């Protein structure tokens, strides 16, 4: 009974096109920004409070010290809103799987 829609737009552009209340209806969000993307932490801070409890937020990222530090700082600052369920490392790519509380 569920319908799924795959959106392949830059997230910031898609975010401007949808009603804000739509975010709390999502089951999961997969973000694959360019490695070293300077706006990632801002984007995560924008969307996290709008996602409903149980939503899975998957963030692909580079494994540079800068990106790893940013994701750790993000999780520490927002651990009351999300759990880091799993972190997967594959070469120079990492994936963080957060679950919204």
Task: Determine the pLDDT at residue 79.
Answer: 83
Task: Determine the pLDDT at residue 61.
Answer: 92
Record the pTM.
Answer: 0.84
Give average pLDDT by consecutive 10-residue segment, the chain, 101 residues: 79 84 89 88 88 95 89 87 92 93 93
39 closest CA partner among 8, 61, 57: 61
Conformational region of residue 36, where left means phi above 0, alpha means psi within -120 to 50, and beta covers everything else: left
Task: Determine the pLDDT at residue 51.
Answer: 93
Task: Determine the pLDDT at residue 72.
Answer: 86
Residue ranges of alpha helices (H) inside the chain are: 11-17, 40-47, 65-78
């Amino acid at each position: 009974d569920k319908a799924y829609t795959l959106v392949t737009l830059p997230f910031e552009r898609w975010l401007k096109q949808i009603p804000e209340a739509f975010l709390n209806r999502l089951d999961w969000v997969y973000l694959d920004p360019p490695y070293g993307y300077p706006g990632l932490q801002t984007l995560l801070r924008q969307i996290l409070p709008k996602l409903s409890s149980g939503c899975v937020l998957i963030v692909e990222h580079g494994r540079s010290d800068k990106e790893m530090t940013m994701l750790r700082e993000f999780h520490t600052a927002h651990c009351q809103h999300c759990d880091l369920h799993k972190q997967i490392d594959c070469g120079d790519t990492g994936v963080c799987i957060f679950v919204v509380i």
